[in-house]
């Protein structure tokens, strides 16, 4: 009986093996053409059609009108503030987000789960609430502001306050991107480096950092992109002073309130193009880092 069963097993498994070799294994989702069609339809409705409407509305302007709208001194000042503050916030989040992820993965301490949950607070907290809370905290009569302003340090209603708000809303992107990579890192490689005489700094720079660098760049890109389009948490703490603390999203809102729809879409298009180019550069750096790590 056992011989009969064993002799039947190869014949039963043969069709499955031939199907695997032929690439005909069953898939959970429908075929390629159906899923591709649904994917393109979904992306068109959610992304491509709204962006195309933005471009087509901008084309109602002549080149001179477009150039005047996007290069006005007030708009240029908002570009410098928005992209500069977003870049600073993303760099700070890349450093301290890596530190927070490292502590959550590598150490055990009382209240660890609470700290881990607090990282996601900016995700759950409405941005307007975050802006009001930071303003109340950093204003001249706030808990922190009243201690700093006597020393000439003013955070609320200044570009510094904008950077702080962007750091607050961008930190989870870095932590949640780097954390799973650190959890999956092979500690045997670190032990091998230590046994070969490597210092802690050498182990981190030569063994750990190359493996987490793509994830760190991804978190940096996500935090940077999130900061560029942030409005709710910044609008309360910025002060919204033209040429000083006025962000580009506020310029767009102001043009919409004045029924200057073409001017608003022109400024939005410039932000879209710059953001896309910056993300393209960051993705290129990620691909280069992966190729380097693979080599």
Euclidean distance between CA atoms 229 and 268, whole angstroms: 10
Helix axes 127-138, 159-184, angle to 10 degrees: 120
- The secondary structure of residue 162, as a DSSP letter, is H
Residue 170 to residues 39, 86, 145, Cα–Cα distance (Å): 28, 9, 22
- In this prediction, residue 294 carries a pLDDT of 65
Residue 194 to residues 70, 189, 203, Cα–Cα distance (Å): 55, 9, 7
Number of H helices, E strands in the chain: 16, 0
How many CA atoms lie within 13 Å of 13's alpha carbon, on the beta-carbon side?
A: 6
- In this prediction, residue 89 carries a pLDDT of 95
- In this prediction, residue 26 carries a pLDDT of 57
Does 186 or 177 have the greater pLDDT score? Answer: 177
Q: How confident is the model at residue 30 (pLDDT cuts 50, 70, 90)?
A: low
For residues 220 and 95, is the Cβ–Cβ distance under 8 A?
Answer: no
Q: Of 126-130, 158-162, 277-281, which range is least confident? A: 277-281
Euclidean distance between CA atoms 23 and 8, whole angstroms: 24
* pLDDT of 246 higher than 50: yes
* pLDDT of 10 higher than 80: no
For residues 220 and 281, is the Cβ–Cβ distance under 8 A?
Answer: no
Q: How confident is the model at residue 4 (pLDDT cuts 50, 70, 90)?
A: very low
Give the residue from 236, 219, 269, 225 showing the smallest Cα distance to 75: 269
* pLDDT of 279 higher than 90: no
- In this prediction, residue 6 carries a pLDDT of 47
Alpha-carbon torsion (117, 119, 124, 128), positive or negative: positive
Q: Kindly report the average pLDDT of the chain as a whole number.
A: 82
Q: Of 169-183, 190-204, 242-256, which range is least confident? A: 190-204
Strands (E), the chain: none
Tens digits of residue pLDDT in 203-217:
787 888 888 888 898
Tens digits of residue pLDDT in 86-125:
999 999 999 999 999 999 998 888 988 999 999 988 888 8
Mean pLDDT of 212-241: 87
Q: How wide is the angle at C-alpha 194 spanned by C-alphas 192 and 195, nearest 5°?
A: 65
């Amino acid at each position: 009986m056992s011989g009969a069963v064993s002799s039947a097993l190869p014949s039963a498994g043969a069709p499955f093996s031939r199907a695997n070799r032929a690439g005909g294994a069953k898939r959970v989702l429908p075929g390629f053409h159906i899923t591709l069609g649904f994917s393109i339809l979904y992306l068109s409705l959610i992304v491509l059609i709204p962006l195309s409407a933005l471009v087509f509305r901008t084309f109602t302007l002549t080149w001179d009108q477009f150039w005047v709208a996007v290069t006005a001194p007030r708009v240029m000042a908002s570009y410098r503030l928005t992209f500069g503050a977003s870049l600073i916030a993303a760099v700070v989040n890349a450093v301290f987000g890596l530190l927070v992820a490292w502590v959550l993965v590598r150490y055990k301490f009382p209240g660890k789960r609470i700290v881990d949950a607090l990282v996601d607070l900016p995700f759950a907290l409405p941005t307007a609430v975050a802006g009001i809370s930071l303003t109340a905290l950093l204003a001249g009569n706030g808990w922190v502001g009243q201690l700093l302003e006597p020393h000439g340090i003013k955070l609320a209603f200044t570009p510094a306050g904008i950077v702080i708000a962007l750091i607050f809303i961008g930190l989870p992107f870095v932590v949640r991107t780097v954390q799973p990579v650190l959890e999956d890192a092979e500690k045997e490689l670190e032990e091998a480096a230590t046994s070969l005489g490597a210092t802690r700094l050498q182990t981190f720079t030569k063994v750990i950092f190359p493996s987490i660098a793509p994830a760190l760049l991804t978190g940096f890109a996500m935090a940077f992109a999130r900061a560029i389009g942030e409005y709710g948490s910044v609008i309360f703490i910025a002060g919204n002073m033209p040429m000083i603390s006025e962000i580009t999203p506020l310029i767009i809102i102001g043009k919409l309130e004045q029924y200057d729809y073409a001017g608003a879409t022109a400024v939005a298009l410039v932000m879209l193009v710059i953001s896309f180019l910056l993300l393209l550069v960051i993705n290129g750096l990620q691909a280069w880092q992966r190729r380097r790590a693979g080599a």
